[in-house]
Chain A
Amino acid sequence: MELAEQGPLPTTEKDGWFGTTHWTVVLQAGEAESPETQAALAKLCQTYWYPLYVFIRRQGRNPQDAQDLVQGFFARVLEKNYIQDADRTKGRFRSFLLLALKRYMANEWDYANRQKRGGGNQVISLDEQDSELRYRVEPADEMSPEKAYERRWALILLQQVLDRLASEFSTPGKVRLFDELKVFLSGEKGGSYAEIGSRLGMTESAIKVTVHRLRQRYREILRLEIANTVSSPEAVDDEIRNLFAALS
């Protein structure tokens, strides 16, 4: 039991970690069903449902079934039993979610009694129309459903991070700045500081400094987003490496 081996969950604030990220909120609640727990879990599900969809579709299910499955699963996962699966997933929400889904699909989902489309209790809102459209542009390759799930997870995460970073640059002056400089988030070769500088009327040094800041902020947000899905600060680095591998 990974989580048990980590010892009891912290009861005092440590570096502000305690109780601040989504997944730790859920974990520390354990059996309780407080509104905070529900909200945290709902938020996580809202963000990361699509990788599950990808997984299900990869397994061969049709779009309608996939959507029903996702909805039904989320309705189920908010119940306390499933949280115990977290013990076996090293505190990673990503792993937990997939494990829980598999269990759900194996044991509980009633194919025959699946909800009619449009009916039933929708726990979270999925953009059903778009989910299949999104899926269609997934690369068609021989990846296993699990690998596809992880890969999609990584992409969703990055999307979150970039969207959040972009939103911090949403004032008219900064939008252009972000557009021009974001290319440097992945490395140095995307452009030339001098050239961009002359386009924006900034010196190379000013560009350099802004890129530096942008990168720092990107890293901060990346770590914050990942922190939402792991159970301890130490696990963040590990998760980054895992996701990097998932993209290979």
Chain B
Amino acid sequence: MPAQPTCPECGAALAAEAHHGLCPKCLLGASLGTEAVPAPDPTIRLTLPPDDTATDRVGRYKILQKLGEGGCGVVYMAEQQEPVKRRVALKVIKLGMDSRQVIARFEAERQALALMDHSNIAKVLDGGTTQTGQPFFVMELVRGIPITRFCDENRLDTAQRLELFILVCQAVQHAHQKGIIHRDIKPSNILVADHDGVPVPKVIDFGIAKATAGQTLTDKTLFTAFEQFMGTPAYMSPEQAKLSGLDIDTRSDIYSLGVLLYELLTGKTPFDSKRLIQAGLDEIRRIIQEEDPPRPSTRLSTLEAVEQTTMARQRQIEPLKLAGLVRGDLDWIVMKCLEKDRKRRYETANGLAREIERFLSDEPVVARPPSPVYKIQKFVRRNKLTFAAGCAVAGAMILGLGLSTWCWLEERTARRQAVAAEEQMRTMVKFFRDTQILRTVHPKEHSYVATGSVEKLPGLVPPGDPRLNGKTYTQWAAEWWQRFLQMPMTNSAGAVHPWIDTPRFDVSEAQMSDVWFLAAPFGTAKRSCLIPEGKSLFFPLFCVESSSLEEPPYYGATTDDQSAVAQYWADHIVDPFCELDGIALSNMAPYRIQSPQVSITAPAPWILGQAGGRGTSTGDGYFVFLSPMAPGEHTLHYGAAFRFTKAQDGLDLNDKIDMTYHIKVVDASVAAIPRSGK
């Protein structure tokens, strides 16, 4: 005789009358004291909502909210209860890594990490494994923004930037003395917090890179080898780029510090990030190991006039003077850090810091108070912000909310995988590109694609058109393909549907032509499309875009201001959500767009339409990747809210996007797919 079932909440015996096996008292109890009127439009949170986190604990840490995501894992704000109560940053490394190895390495370093005690280093406090076997690290919670952004937004002049930089060097020095190499120094790992008006840089993620280093990818396909380089390869030292597993020593950190200094001075990295992104894996490594970057002063003088003005403005100096200031000693200091041969670089971070100090004391220090913190009000009124649903992107980069880390590969597998990935990538790009064209042109023009004469297609932006921004169709497709590779490997749209892929996403050659890029037309109320069955969809959902596409830049507002505005809005995105046929998707991921400044661009030249024009675009948004859906009508419902508060932002503003996209999947034998995709 089966035992009487009991309610898991209150322990009472469940009578036979308990409908659906649920305890009636607890059912009612659960609804006591809730809101009186049902909300007409429930907003779904994909981050952990505060009221649901009572049961979310990792070890002795209680998860409060998600802060960001990076290449290796997710970072949360958590609360430590014992022995002291405080807020910490908790980083969970994602599955796919050998947890034991990661933890073992971390433990080895932990002793040394515990000895680190420097005001400019965020302490690593703890580490362990979650219930699901994922390694996690607990770090001091730093509330700040990346150093480069901080300097730009607050318009710190060169001397002020150098002073911040010296503090960073001192922090790195301290760690080096304890035998800890960071391995992943870059602006997103150096957060500047404001302590009573005094900017305090904090270097985060010490010890993490090493712990996660040397991971053999267990559960991943070839394409993630490529994925590793999708952060900011610009900061990678030549010996790291070699992937030879050579002993990386402190001088690798010195190189990265040099790149940071370069960027603080000129606003650019030695090798342009956009250029690196477009290049293949091997190309990136070659560039870093072999090419000589231009000197900072040279870089400054070869910038376009408008960019020069921007850089200068952000550093409170006349454009001509900026180049002059940098030329000479500063040039020399930076380039010494960036030497390919590590023996020729500065031996220690302290050595570098002292050089800078000497430079500073020779130069008359311009005592200027930092400019007022960037005020949003005037720009909200003056600038036009467009919320573009499903906008296609130009010159895209992945922004991992300042908290991504590198994941390293063993040399043997890495080389093999990298070469194969490179080849695969090229093939895929071609398929990808051709597919996009096939999707949008009339079937009778498909022959152009088949014969390889894509450029002859009428209505395509002609090669060499300024809208292509100097890139070929293939390069554009390559960028998009990079993005595609970034997508999370686990498909989570609900396995109850038989047509959803299993969690591992393997793209075989046959499937490559089956990825379609879905772009919602601008400015139309009705959003729908028709696709043949068997296609996977890459769908940029929405982005906060600051664009001067239709109007000239407002007088006095530079395009950098506009980017900052877009960034500001994007930073206030809350509650992004996406559902397919009523089921929440959890593989919605953020992305960022950043088009070149003051030039004419088109989102993707082969997507025919009215897009493109004069101006620039920057923004942040979210996208999803959908596996092939069953024939029939599907609904994609997505959006987000934007929240500004008087207290934090100086104004009260609430806005939201809520969109529905109808996707009709039809039998593959449907002959003509109309150009508008209706």
A residues with a Cβ closer than 8 A to B are: 15, 137-139, 154-155, 158-159, 162-163, 166, 173-174, 176-177, 182-183, 185-190, 194, 200-203, 205-206, 208-210, 212-213, 215-216, 218-220, 222-224, 233-234, 236-237, 240-241, 243-244, 247-248
Contacts and interface: CB of A to CB of B under 8 A. Distances in A.
Contacts of A212: 44-45, 49, 52
Nearest to B8: A189
A165 B131 CA distance: 33
Interface string B473-513: 00000000000000000101111110010110000000000
A210 B583 contact: yes
Contacts of A139: 15
Interface string B412-424: 0000000000000
Given A137-B16, A176-B496, A188-B54, A202 B7 contact: no
A155 B55 contact: no
A209 B34 contact: no
Interface in B15-35: 15-17, 19-35
B325 interface: no
Nearest to B9: A187
B249 to A, nearest CB: 39
B496 A200 contact: yes
A241 B29 CA distance: 8
B37 interface: yes
B499 to A, nearest CB: 10
Contacts of B44: 209, 212-213
Nearest to B54: A188
A237 B20 contact: no
A108 B37 CA distance: 41
A137 B17 contact: yes
A248 B493 CA distance: 40
A237 B7 CA distance: 24
A196 B309 CA distance: 56
27 contacts: A154-B28, A155-B19, A158-B28, A162-B20, A162-B27, A173-B494, A173-B496, A177-B583, A185-B27, A186-B30, A187-B9, A188-B9, A188-B55, A189-B9, A201-B496, A201-B502, A202-B495, A202-B586, A203-B586, A208-B52, A209-B577, A212-B52, A213-B44, A234-B36, A236-B36, A241-B32, A244-B29
A176 B9 CA distance: 22
Interface string B581-596: 0111110000000000
Contacts of B83: none
A50 to B, nearest CB: 11
Nearest to B28: A244
B490 A162 contact: no
B34 A219 contact: yes
A87 B173 CA distance: 82
Given A137-B16, A209-B584, A219-B35, 6 more contacts: A188-B55, A206-B493, A213-B42, A218-B31, A219-B31, A224-B38
A220 B45 contact: no
Contacts of A183: 8, 21-22
A159 B348 CA distance: 73
Contacts of B37: 15, 233
Contacts of A176: 496
Interface in B569-609: 577, 582-586
Contacts of B494: 173, 177, 200-202, 206
Interface string B50-65: 0010110000000000
A15 B54 CA distance: 34
B24 A247 contact: yes
Q: Which of B54, B503, B577, B586 has the most CB of A within 10 A?
A: B586
A186 to B, nearest CB: 4
A158 B671 CA distance: 52
A159 B492 CA distance: 32
B46 interface: yes
Contacts, number: 141
A234 B17 CA distance: 30
B20 A154 contact: no
B31 A247 contact: no
A213 B9 CA distance: 20
A107 B31 CA distance: 40
Where chain B touches its partner, the secondary structure class is loop
Interface of B: 7-9, 15-17, 19-39, 42, 44-46, 48-49, 52, 54-55, 131-132, 490, 492-497, 500, 502-503, 577, 582-586
4 closest Cβ contacts across the A-B interface?
A201-B495, A186-B26, A187-B9, A220-B38
Contact of B36 (A166, A206, A222, A237): A237
Q: Which of B21, B24, B36, B44 has the most CB of A within 10 A?
A: B24
B678 to A, nearest CB: 26
A54 B121 CA distance: 71
A7 to B, nearest CB: 20
Contacts of A188: 9, 54-55
Contacts of B31: 218-219, 222-223, 240
Contacts of A163: 19
A208 B45 CA distance: 9
Given A155-B24, A189-B8, A247-B24, A162 B38 contact: no
Given A209-B584, A236-B36, A201 B25 contact: no
Q: Which of A155, A209, A222 has the most CB of B within 10 A?
A: A209
A244 B34 CA distance: 14
A246 B428 CA distance: 65
A96 B251 CA distance: 84
Contacts of A244: 25, 28-29, 32
B30 A158 contact: no
Contacts of B21: 183
A191 B497 CA distance: 22
Contacts of A224: 38
Nearest to B498: A173
A203 B493 CA distance: 9
Contacts of A201: 492, 494-496, 500, 502-503
A200 to B, nearest CB: 5
Given A162-B19, A200-B496, A209 B26 contact: no
A186 B7 contact: yes
B42 A216 contact: yes
B20 A206 contact: no
Contacts of B19: 155, 158-159, 162-163
Contacts of B500: 201
A91 B623 CA distance: 51
Contact of A158 (B27, B496, B584): B27
Contacts of B502: 201
A200 B496 CA distance: 6
Given A166-B20, A186-B23, A209 B45 contact: yes
Contacts of A185: 22, 27, 30
Contacts of B48: 205, 208
Nearest to B55: A188
A247 B493 CA distance: 39
A240 B32 CA distance: 7
A215 B131 CA distance: 26
A14 to B, nearest CB: 12
Given A162-B20, A209-B45, A216-B42, A202 B32 contact: no
Nearest to B132: A194
B31 to A, nearest CB: 5
Contacts of B32: 237, 240-241, 244
A188 to B, nearest CB: 5
A245 to B, nearest CB: 10
Contact of A206 (B22, B23, B42, B584): B584
A234 B37 CA distance: 10
Contacts of A248: 25
Contacts of B585: 206
Contacts of A186: 7, 9, 22-23, 26-27, 29-30
B590 to A, nearest CB: 15
